[in-house]
Structure 1
Amino acid sequence: MSGTMTAPTSTSAGAADVDVRIEDDASPLVRLIGRTLRDSARTGHAVDTLNRSTGTVAIHSHDTPQAATISFGANGIDVSSGVLVEPDAAVTVDLNARFAPTADPSGDAGLAGGVLQALTPPLPGWRDAAQRFWDATRSLPGIPDVLIAVTEGPEGLEQAVLGDGPTQYLIAGAPETLAAVFCGADDLFAVLSSGALGIQGTLSQLSVMTGASWKVRYDV
């Protein structure tokens, strides 16, 4: 059974009015795909693909057994776990590299290319992404009172300070890195492990912030 999730209203010109539906008990991959497609719809990205009325595409993880199917129909898009029917196209992607393909697609190359484009919406500005991240996660148990995001701008260090209180957590990185983590395109712990992100806080705060990252990334 699927639960309907409609792409959020956006002021972006050309935003797609499309329903993206996922299963009630969706897997992390299904949730990740659903959230990413909704981001594309909200920002008016890959509208032609999102508005397709036919076609099925299988999405395979390149390094885990995870798989999902995207089905286009007259009433929107359904994302489901596994690959239960023969798809029109199939792609194998790196889930920790924003759905970057790791092999040539099979089947309908045009459909596969359109889906890969739809799975790579443009990143928001890092300040906007930080604010949306904070709005979505500030009520989580154990979340620090203050989130500080720091980056290097054209005129030197820039920072955004969100919240108020005695406990704080600092995240530093390039503008694109911060934007990708805060909007859910990248996993906080994976980026931290790569060395592209710096943090200042306790281990318990890191655990909470990792959970907050997953909340945004998987839209839970």
Structure 2
Amino acid sequence: MQDQMLLTHIINHLQTLNLTLQGKNKIVSDLTQTIFSFQSTIRVFQSDILSRNFIHFPNFSRRLNTFLDIEIKDHKLEEYKVLLDNFLARFDDLRKLKPCFAFLANSFMVDVVNDGCRIPEPLVTESSAVEMELMELPEDLGLQMIHKSQSTTEFWKQVPGIKYPELKKTRVRLISMFSTKYCCESLYSVMEFVQSLQTNTCRS
């Protein structure tokens, strides 16, 4: 019974993660933030089971308080470790691109002097030009004000391409990364609906 309760708990979290990753207007940096956060959540669950606190397993904790003779099996920790290892392996490429997503979310915080341009090719074709523009960007007070009040995509629409051409190119490459199948699946659903209407019209 305890195995089923713990399994149900993690399945519920995986379903929530799946729903969070779906939807319109989500760029790859938003989705990776959700995935990395879930990896940390798994680590917290491991620690919770190991310490026997079960503060993140309220239903299981209540059952323990009701049935004091329940045996707690340590092999659940191994299952969480396998789940975490699978996440780390599957999304290893995204973790390597994490500096790129930081650039996309807030280019004003990029430390060019100490870190240089940490965005790899082919996302960047002219590293020196990108570094020069990144050093100029924090001094642009107008763009700083826009950044505080706009979303990531809306902010980059306001960045002048004439003044920051390489940054704009890099932004386009990052935002256009194929982050989810949601748009394609929605398009196929619409196509099937239209075809169905046309078929019914022809029959009538």
TM-score by length of 1: 0.27
**Larger RCO (CA within 8 A; separation ≥ 6):** 2
Bigger radius of gyration:
2
TM-score by length of 2: 0.28
Q: Which has the higher strand share?
A: 1
